[in-house]
């Protein structure tokens, strides 16, 4: 079942900003940041992995990383979300590489020693998840700069301005990277449904 966060409701107008909470730096303030952004980070992680359970793990790991590296965090327009998306993207790529190595290792094992997991068959049969995996694999093969732009803008739903600030480049560079990435991706998958904001 998809996780539900209690903090997913709209924040009151008088709620402290991310910058104010981050400046406080205590556990209660960090808890409020978690409540505010956990659902968005989970959604982003799911779009990057096509797996509910992996998205849950990545969400936890993203916030643990954010807590440990809070001194390095860079807010974008007083929002922690772009930085959290960047961390989640990095962790998702690491997970993708780990699973690829594990899969290659499994292929070396004789088949009569390995029993298929029924859960894998169920997941593989879901068309939308299979399609998302196809897109994610194509995104993973993009050059790094294009992949980062796609993950933040097309999959992460940040604006090009927010992505530019998060990556420390000009907005025109993000738009150019998205354009080149779309050209590459269209050759591999139907990617027209993702729009640039």
Check: CB of residue 147 under 8 Å from CB of residue 139: yes
Is residue 134 scored above 90 in pLDDT? no
The CATH number of 16-114 is 1.10.1740.10
Q: 76: helix, coil or strand?
A: strand
**Residue ranges covered by each domain of the chain:** 16-114, 116-197
Other beta carbons less than 10 A from residue 47's beta carbon: 21
Tell me which DSSP letter residue 175 carries: H
Is residue 177 scored above 70 in pLDDT? yes
**97, containing H or E segment:** helix 81-108
d(CA 43, CA 55): 8
d(CA 166, CA 153): 11
Q: Residue 187 has which token pair?
A: 């050759």
The gap from C-alpha 18 to its chain's centroid, in whole angstroms, comes to 19
- At 125 the pLDDT is 53
d(CA 196, CA 59): 24
Check: CB of residue 149 under 8 Å from CB of residue 174: yes
Q: What is the mean pLDDT of the chain?
A: 76
Global model pTM greater than 0.75: no
d(CA 51, CA 92): 11
Q: What's the CATH number of domain 116-197, 3.40.50.1820, 1.10.10.10, 1.20.1260.10, 2.40.160.20?
A: 1.10.10.10
Is residue 150 scored above 80 in pLDDT? yes
């Amino acid at each position: 079942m998809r996780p539900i966060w209690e903090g997913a409701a709209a924040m009151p107008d008088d709620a402290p900003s991310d910058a104010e909470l981050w400046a406080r730096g205590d556990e209660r303030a960090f808890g409020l940041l978690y409540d505010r952004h956990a659902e968005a980070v989970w959604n982003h992680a799911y779009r990057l992995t096509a797996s509910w359970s992996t998205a849950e793990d990545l969400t936890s790991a993203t916030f643990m990383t954010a807590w440990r590296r809070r001194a390095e965090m860079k807010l974008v327009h007083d929002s922690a979300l772009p930085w959290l998306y960047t961390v989640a993207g990095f962790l998702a790529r690491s997970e993708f590489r780990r699973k690829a190595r594990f899969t290659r290792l499994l292929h070396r094992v004789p088949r009569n020693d390995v029993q298929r997991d029924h859960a894998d068959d169920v997941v593989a049969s879901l068309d939308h998840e299979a399609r998302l995996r196809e897109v994610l694999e194509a995104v993973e093969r993009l050059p790094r700069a294009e992949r980062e732009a796609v993950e933040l803008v097309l999959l992460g739903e940040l604006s090009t301005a927010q992505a530019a600030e998060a990556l420390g480049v000009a907005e025109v560079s993000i738009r150019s990277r998205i354009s080149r990435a779309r050209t590459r991706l269209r050759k591999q998958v139907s990617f027209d449904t993702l729009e640039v904001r």
